[in-house]
Amino acid sequence: MIPRALTIAGSDSGGGAGIQADLKTFHEHVVFGMSAITALTAQDTTGVHEVHAVPPAFVRAQIDAVASDLGVEAAKTGMLGSAAVVDAVADGIAAHEIAPLVVDPVCASKHGDPLLDDDAIEGLRQRILPLAEVVTPNVGEVAVLTGVEVRGVGDLSRAAEAVLALGPRWALVKGGHLPDNPRAIDLLTDGRTSIHLEAERLDTQDTHGTGCTLAAAIAARRARGESLEDAVHGAKAFVTGAIRHGLRLGKGIGPVDHAWARR
C-alpha cells in the first residue's frame, strides 16, 4: 500500500509554502498526501495580505476524517494560527495517536508577517511539542519558544537542548538564517547523538517555504519507513536541491522548485 502522510497547516495561495509546499513535497516522495487546513492566507512572494481563520472544530473534523478512514503513517504541523486551533490539533493528534509527528513551529513568514497569535505560543509549547518526534525551529522560533538567542553556529547546541527540554524526542535547529556563515548548518540532536547537517549556503533570496519543505520531506520519508536520522539527511538534500533550482517567480521572496529532481 502507498505510504500516506498528513499535513496540518495553513494554505498559501502563492503555492510556495504551507499546505501547497507540503503536498508537492509528499508527491515528489511518492507518498499519498492528505491535508487538514488550519487557516487560509492570501499570500504571494511579497507577503501575507490577509488571513482567514478556519473554525477549530472544522480543523478537528478534517483530522478525524482522514485518520479514521485513510490512515496516517506520518504527519507534520505547520501554521496553526490561534490558541483554539492549537488545542484542536493537539486533541486530534492524541485521539488518533498520530505518529511520528514532525512539528514545524511556524510563527511568522519570511517577511515577518505573523502566522501565530501571541497567546497560542504557550499551547504550542505545552501541548504540541511533547507530541513531536522532531521539532524544526529556525533561530527566530527558538528565541520565541525558549528565550535562547542564537547568534552563531556555536549557540546551536545550547538552543537545541532548550528545545528538547520542551518534550520532543529530537530537535532540529535550522541555522540557515545565520549571517556571516558560508555554510547552511542545522543541528539535529536527541540529547545523546548530535549531528551537524551542512550544505552550501546558496546566494538567493528565493527561500519562501524552505522550512515547510524540509519538515514535509522528513514526514514523507518517515511515512516511507526511513529512520529519523536518514529522513533528516534526505530531507536536507531535497530542500537544498529545491533552493538551488529556485524558480524566480514573483516580485519578492520566490518559491523553491519542489520538482527539481525530475526536471
Ligand X SMILES: Nc1ncnc2c1ncn2[C@@H]1O[C@H](COP(=O)(O)OP(=O)(O)OP(=O)(O)O)[C@@H](O)[C@H]1O
Ligand Y SMILES: Cc1ncc(CO)c(N)n1
Of the pair 54, 256, the CB lying nearest ligand X is at 256
Contact between 212 and ligand Y by CB under 6 A: the answer reads yes
Find the helix packing angle between 210-223 and 228-244, rounded to 10°.
Answer: 140
Q: Which of 25, 207, 213, 240 is catalytic?
A: 207
Q: Which one among 29, 76, 236, 258 touches ligand X, defined by CB under 6 A?
A: 236
Residue 207 appears among annotated catalytic residues: yes
Residue 71 appears among annotated catalytic residues: no
DSSP H helical segments within 103-253, as ranges?
A: 121-123, 139-146, 156-164, 210-223, 228-244
- Which residues 163-192 are close enough to bind ligand X by CB under 6 A? 174-177, 184, 186
Q: What is the DSSP letter of 57?
A: H
CB 246 within 8 A of CB 256: yes
The three grid cell numbers given for residue 54, joined into one nine-digit string: 478556519
Q: Which of 7, 110, 176, 212 is catalytic?
A: 212
Q: Which one among 100, 211, 246, 254 touches ligand Y, defined by CB under 6 A?
A: 211
Residue 107 appears among annotated catalytic residues: no
Alpha carbon distance, N-terminus to C-terminus of the chain: 27
Question: What is the per-residue binding string for ligand Y in 64-83, x denoting contact by CB under 6 A?
Answer: --------------xx----
Residue 212 appears among annotated catalytic residues: yes
- Which residues 12-31 are close enough to bind ligand Y by CB under 6 A? 12, 17-18
Q: Cα separation of 69 and 81, whole Å?
A: 26
How many residues are present in the chain? 263
Of these partners, ligand Y, ligand X, none, which one is at the site of residue 7 (CB under 5 to 8 Å by kind)? none
The three grid cell numbers given for residue 252, joined into one nine-digit string: 519578492
Q: Cα separation of 169 and 254, whole Å?
A: 33
Which residues contribute to the site for ligand Y (CB under 6 A)?
A: 9-10, 12, 17-18, 41, 43, 78-79, 106, 109, 115, 209, 211-212
Which residues contribute to the site for ligand X (CB under 6 A)?
A: 17, 110, 138, 174-177, 184, 186, 199, 201-202, 204, 207-212, 214, 236, 239-240, 243
